[in-house]
């Protein structure tokens, strides 16, 4: 009985394998005779990010040619090559290209999100994105983000010179600002000295705020909120010229 059951089980498995092989073969034959019917492009997280749109992606898909790949035989396309063309755009973070069974080319793109604009003396500005990557500015769109100035900006632009820990911590600091509506409204500019120490220039008030290196960010931002929500409204927005929140459990106002 056991050997009979094993034979039956083996036949079922073999039949299933043959069926799967037949289905794959049928799909492959159908695909061989198909052409690209349409192109579906989805750009993720496009809200308030106009560095790249569907038309830009379409040009990259067609490799800059005026003739569309719609109508081109499916087997004549190299999907990896199309992905590479799309990823060559500095404003593209990730790209996924695949075909569906109806012969449509499906394209999913995630653009880079600029977190801050780096101001460079005697050179072109740039952005730093949510992944800590440096990307160029655009002639078509200017992002409303925090400005970064100071002598450290040259190091940020050069991968070999930048302190990677400072860069990572700065990126996390920028994410914290971007993710907090109150901080986004208050922080206008970060000035970084040659050692990576940060001075914050707020949107309102004449004071500058010594933040120090981008560490213990959460604790420092709590103190920054106390400054903006309690101290300055009570004492006056232009009472102090210098504020230091760099050290533990201290808010020094002068």
Q: Residue 160 is part of a domain; what is its CATH number?
A: 3.40.50
| pTM to 2 decimal places | 0.78
Domain shared by 65 and 136, yes or no: no
Q: What is the mean pLDDT of the chain?
A: 84
Q: Is residue 144 assigned to a domain?
A: yes
Q: Is residue 135 assigned to a domain?
A: yes
What pLDDT does residue 208 have? 94
Other Cβ atoms closer than 10 A to 16 = 10
DSSP string, 4-42: HHHHHHHHHHHHHHHHHHHHHHHHHHHHHT-B---EEEE
Domain boundary among 78, 111, 144: 111
Domain shared by 61 and 164, yes or no: no
What pLDDT does residue 107 have? 94
Domain shared by 238 and 193, yes or no: yes
In this predicted structure, the answer to whether residue 139 has a pLDDT above a threshold of 60 is: yes
Sheet containing strand 252-253, edge to edge, reads 134-136, 126-129, 114-118, 146-149, 187-192, 198-202, 208-212, 242-244, 252-253
Q: Is residue 29 assigned to a domain?
A: no
What pLDDT does residue 71 have? 82
Number of domains in the chain: 2
Domain shared by 54 and 77, yes or no: yes
In this predicted structure, the answer to whether residue 219 has a pLDDT above a threshold of 80 is: yes
CATH number at residue 83: 3.10.20
DSSP string, 62-103: TTT-SS-STTSBGGG--HHHHHHHHHTSTTEEEEEEEE-TTS
Share of the chain above pLDDT 70, in %: 83
Is residue 174 within 8 Å of residue 206, measured between CB atoms? no
* Structural domain containing residue 129: 114-253
DSSP string, 98-132: EE-TTSPEEEEEEE--EEEEEP-TTS--EEEETTS
Domain shared by 87 and 51, yes or no: yes
In this predicted structure, the answer to whether residue 33 has a pLDDT above a threshold of 70 is: no
Domain boundary among 111, 127, 144: 111
Domain shared by 146 and 209, yes or no: yes
Domain boundary among 111, 132, 153: 111
Average pLDDT over residues 117-131: 91
Q: Is residue 163 assigned to a domain?
A: yes
Tokens 């971007």 found at: 178
Per-residue pLDDT tens over the stretch 150-169: 999 988 887 665 678 888 99
């Amino acid at each position: 009985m056991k050997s009979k059951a094993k034979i039956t089980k083996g036949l079922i498995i073999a039949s299933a394998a043959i069926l799967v092989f037949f289905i794959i073969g049928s799909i492959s034959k159908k695909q061989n005779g198909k052409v690209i019917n349409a192109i579906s492009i989805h750009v993720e997280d496009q809200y308030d990010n106009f560095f790249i749109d569907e038309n830009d992606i379409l040009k990259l898909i067609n490799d800059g040619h005026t003739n569309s790949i719609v109508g081109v035989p499916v087997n004549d396309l190299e999907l990896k090559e199309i992905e590479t063309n799309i990823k060559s755009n500095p404003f593209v973070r990730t790209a996924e290209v695949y075909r569906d069974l109806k012969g449509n080319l499906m394209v999913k793109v995630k653009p880079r999100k600029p977190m801050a604009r780096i101001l460079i003396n005697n050179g072109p500005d740039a952005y730093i994105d949510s992944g800590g990557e440096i990307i160029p500015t655009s002639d078509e769109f200017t992002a409303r983000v925090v400005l970064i100035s100071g002598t450290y900006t040259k190091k940020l632009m050069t991968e070999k010179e930048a302190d990677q820990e400072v860069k990572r911590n700065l990126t996390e600091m920028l994410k914290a600002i971007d993710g907090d509506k109150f901080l986004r409204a208050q922080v206008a500019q970060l000035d970084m000295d040659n050692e990576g120490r940060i001075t914050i220039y707020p949107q309102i008030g004449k004071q500058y705020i010594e933040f120090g290196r981008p560490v213990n960010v959460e604790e420092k931002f709590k103190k920054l909120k106390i400054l903006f929500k309690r101290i300055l409204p009570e004492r006056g927005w232009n009472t102090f010229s210098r504020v230091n929140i760099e050290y533990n459990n201290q808010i020094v106002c002068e």
